[in-house]
Amino acid sequence: MTTPRRLACVAASGLAWAVMAACATAPPYAPPVTTPPPAFKELGPWTEAQPSDDRLRGMWWEVFQDGQLNALQAQVTVSNQTLKAAEAQFLQARALVKSAQSARMPQVGAAASMTGSDVSENKPLRSSASPARSTDFVVRADVAYEVDVWGRVRQTIQASRATAQASAADLESVSLSLHAELAQAYFELRASDAERQLIDTSVAAYQRALELTRSRLAGGVASGVDVAQAETQLYLAQAQAVDLGVRRAQLEHAIATLIGRPASGFAIPPSPIAGTPPLLPVGLPSTVLERRPDIAGAERRLMAANAQVGVARSALFPVVALTGSTGFESATLGDWLKLASNFWSVAPAIAVSVFDGGRRRAGVEQATAAYQRAEAQYRDAVLVAFREVEDSLSALRILAEEASVQRSAVEAAQRSLTLSTNRYRGGVTTYLEVVITQNALLQAQRTALGILRRQMAASVQLVKALGGGWDRSALPAF
């Protein structure tokens, strides 16, 4: 008959085990709470005409409406070696998930053997009833299964899943960075082509001016100083045109590497940059948290670190395992697989480390510290994301203002050159005034072109800061 005392002992034991199991599990997980600002402060008036859709879609580089750029971007997806390495890393993480999930199932092994022996007749204490020679035929299957009482297996699987999802987010981050890098290099190259075209046009104008000055020298109207100044200006412009070739070649080689092709056999025909920066949908700051793959990766690593705390805690408690064996054993091959030759054994076991000098406690502390580090990295990733968006927005706003002022400067320089040229032809001034105004116009035009290049670069950076149209719902489930 069950006594109240025995019932109390059983209840106490059950309560103790329940408390131990609760302690062994990982802390309840939820992403850290972040408070994004209600709006980006640097939006500015240039976003008023943006499309009604509040996010980028698909292949974001198509917003620049450049067929050559679209073709190059497609090759990045197929042939870039850095992207292939990131894909392989993701496949490795996915395989680790399958490896962790295998711990849920029993581990079964099988073996077959035949042992023959011949006992020495002079062996001490040898029984005369025992045969000197014997043969043992054995086929057996061994089963081992860990009962996941404390959640070690479950938490390990959760950690591997979260790590694999973080790897998938890393893959998207690498892809986004490579596509953005290609767009940056492409627009740099096109700006270099436009600058070369601008200098070539100036060289042609300087050549005509030199011919005019030489004619005036022959007619006794101009001096040799005027001719020397015209020659100096022409040669300097030609040297600048040649120097642009170095930068263009480097950009072309960089693009070749990004699309997975040897630089020696790759070339892009010259074509000047055209158009203006596209209007990009920005949306609200809160959406950035869902669009940025680096933030998603940081959050998944945080979840993995949380699960690892549970794994470390489970090491404080006993390992409950079930093991068993079954098979057939016989002295003769003919009786090997008969029912009478069958054997089996079952061996449940509980193993616990009684003393380890604080190693397991230190493991829990280490896992907790790793979680705290992952949390800080996640919060930092969020802050960096908002900063990058604000940087790009402010750059676009300020560059738009600068471009407007610079256009006025170019127009003024053109008027000044026209007046100076007319004054020189009329003999009112020296050629030095023409040289000064020509240089001022070329510098103003190159500055305007540089602003356009920076605007395109800032647009690419904004796309990258917004996540390129990616969404965390695209993370794979395991």
Chain Cα centroid distance, residue 84: 12
Phi/psi of residue 447, each to 5°?
Answer: -65, -40
Q: Specify the pLDDT at position 131.
A: 63
Q: Are 456 and 276 in contact (CB under 8 A)?
A: no
Q: Are 24 and 367 in contact (CB under 8 A)?
A: no
- Strand partners for 28: none
377-401 b/e with 16+ CB inside 10 Å = b? Answer: bbeebbeebbebbbebbbbbbebbe
CA-closest candidate to residue 465, choices 283, 336, 260, 302? 283
3-state secondary structure at position 432: helix
Distance CA 472, CA 299 (A): 11
Q: Specify the pLDDT at position 333.
A: 79
Q: Are 162 and 359 in contact (CB under 8 A)?
A: no
Place of tokens 């004054």: 423
Distance CA 125, CA 121 (A): 10
At position 224, the amino acid (one-letter code) is G
Q: Are 321 and 351 in contact (CB under 8 A)?
A: yes
* Structure token pair of residue 91: 């496949």
Query: What's the burial of 477, exposed, middle or buried (CB within 10 Å: 0-12/13-18/19+)?
Result: exposed
Q: Specify the pLDDT at position 45.
A: 47
Domains of the chain: 28-105+154-317+361-474 (1.20.1600.10)
Q: Are 207 and 235 in contact (CB under 8 A)?
A: no
Q: Specify the pLDDT at position 347.
A: 87
Residues 6+ apart with CB under 8 A from 337: 139, 328, 330
CA-closest candidate to residue 459, choices 407, 389, 370, 383? 389
Question: H/E element holding 411?
Answer: helix 359-425
Q: Are 324 and 345 in contact (CB under 8 A)?
A: yes
Q: Are 366 and 312 in contact (CB under 8 A)?
A: yes
Residue ranges of the chain with per-residue pLDDT less than 70: 1-25, 44-55, 57-58, 119-132
Q: Are 169 and 302 in contact (CB under 8 A)?
A: no
For residue 265, the 8-state DSSP code is G
How does DSSP assign 153-209, residue by residue? Answer: HHHHHHHHHHHHHHHHHHHHHHHHHHHHHHHHHHHHHHHHHHHHHHHHHHHHHHHHH
Q: Specify the pLDDT at position 49.
A: 38
Residues 6+ apart with CB under 8 A from 85: none
* Structure token pair of residue 306: 């949380």
* Structure token pair of residue 235: 């040669």
Place of tokens 């120097």: 243
CA-closest candidate to residue 317, choices 357, 366, 350? 350
Helix-, strand-, coil-residue percentages of the chain, each rounded to 5:
65, 10, 25
Place of tokens 């892809």: 175
Contacts 24+ apart (CB under 8 A), 203-207: 203/234, 203/237, 203/238, 203/241, 205/438, 206/230, 206/233, 206/234, 206/237, 206/438, 207/234
3-state secondary structure at position 443: helix
E strands, 177-312, are: none
At position 194, the amino acid (one-letter code) is A
- Strand partners for 140: 111, 327
Distance CA 475, CA 478 (A): 10
